[in-house]
Amino acid sequence: MKTIGFGTGRIGEAFDEIKNNGDTAISFFPHHMHYPSQVLQAIKHYNGAEETIPPGLLYLISEASLVNSATRPGYLKHHKNEVKEYAGFIDKHDRFVIEISELDELTYDEHFYTEYFATKDLRTYQSHLELLSSYGQIEIVRPFEVIERRIPDSYLISVMSEISRVLDEKPILWVSHFDASAPEEVRNARRRCIDVVKRGAKTSGGSFFDPTNVIFKLGQSAALKDDGRDLSHYSAMATSCVAEVLECWTKGQNHPWIV
């Protein structure tokens, strides 16, 4: 069974560990995804059924894409080849792991979903991007043109169901963000994410994994980088725990943390 994963570097590093242990039936989408509509947009575009991303905006699909487009000559050609490489990937895979770590959407021109750090990155690399735009290679987007909007739970769950439909209702393991000791605003956002993704997984007929189990098992200081103070990145030990859970699911095996 072939599995492809979508999400952030947290899941990507776990996939790398599984691959390094000899499993060649798994792969990870090369661009980090955060919220449901961003994932859906990428799946539709890269599968090739419909062009949901204008060529001039491909650089905004992920943080790495924007940075590489701005700093690496010729990267935009690589991007176009990448889209050709992934054409028809839905039919080539049996299972999908999708991490949803954020719920707010970032949009440009109402219909395009940008990478999660677009406002900051567009400002940082503005001069590089303006040069590319002057050559007609990209469509320039100003930081103020990226709109962040809070989305109702019901809509987020409906997008998750649409993702399942587009993926031919093949098995999906939905992975949420984790809860940990953090400022109240962060914890509230994380807990909402866990709740929405869990309900969305149930509604769409998928499975669900809450990585908070890893934090509880290892303790926050051991599970997160910087002795537990880094609220975004797993330690190597936690990555191994996540990899174990994902590997069980990709092989069709049960795990107590998967519901």
Residues in the chain: 259
- pLDDT computed for residue 50 by the predictor: 65
Same domain, 134 and 156: no
Q: How far apart are CA 77 and CA 179, in angstroms?
A: 39
Same domain, 132 and 239: no
pLDDT over 80 at 82, yes or no = yes
Same domain, 184 and 129: no
Same domain, 248 and 195: yes
Asked if residue 46 is part of any domain, the answer here is yes
Same domain, 177 and 195: yes
| Least confident residue range of 46-55, 213-222, 240-249 | 46-55
Asked if residue 16 is part of any domain, the answer here is no
Same domain, 39 and 115: yes
Q: How far apart are CA 195 and CA 138, in angstroms?
A: 38
Asked if residue 225 is part of any domain, the answer here is yes
Asked if residue 13 is part of any domain, the answer here is no
Final residue in a domain of this structure, among 131, 151, 171: 151
Asked if residue 134 is part of any domain, the answer here is yes
Q: Is 70 exposed, middle or buried (0-12, 13-18, 19+ CB in 10 A)?
A: buried
Nearest to 234 by CA among 246, 242, 223: 223
Same domain, 60 and 171: no
**pLDDT, mean over the chain:** 94
- pLDDT computed for residue 110 by the predictor: 85
pLDDT band at 105 (very low <50, low <70, confident <90, very high): very high
H or E element that contains 244: helix 236-250
Same domain, 187 and 137: no
Nearest to 36 by CA among 158, 188, 126: 158
Same domain, 115 and 156: no
pLDDT tens-digit series, residues 181-222: 999 999 999 999 999 999 999 999 999 999 999 999 999 999
Instruction: Determine phi and psi for 253, rounding to 5 degrees.
Output: -100, 155
pLDDT over 90 at 249, yes or no = yes
Asked if residue 73 is part of any domain, the answer here is yes
What's the mean pLDDT in 6-18? 96
Asked if residue 54 is part of any domain, the answer here is yes
Asked if residue 17 is part of any domain, the answer here is no
pTM of the model: 0.95
pLDDT band at 24 (very low <50, low <70, confident <90, very high): confident
Distances (CA, A) of 40 to 45, 188, 242: 9, 25, 24
Same domain, 157 and 131: no
| Least confident residue range of 38-47, 49-58, 168-177 | 49-58
What's the mean pLDDT in 78-93? 90
Q: What is the CATH number of the domain that holds 246?
A: 3.40.50.1110
Q: How far apart are CA 247 and CA 22, in angstroms?
A: 11
Same domain, 251 and 199: yes
pLDDT band at 49 (very low <50, low <70, confident <90, very high): low
Domain of 134, in residue numbers: 32-93+104-151
pLDDT band at 76 (very low <50, low <70, confident <90, very high): confident
Same domain, 233 and 172: yes
What's the mean pLDDT in 105-123? 94
pLDDT tens-digit series, residues 143-185: 999 999 999 999 999 999 999 999 999 999 999 999 999 999 9
Other beta carbons less than 10 A from residue 117's beta carbon: 16
Beta bridge partners, 234, equal 224
- Domain count for the chain, please give it: 2
Nearest to 10 by CA among 35, 36, 28: 28
Nearest to 39 by CA among 54, 49, 29: 29
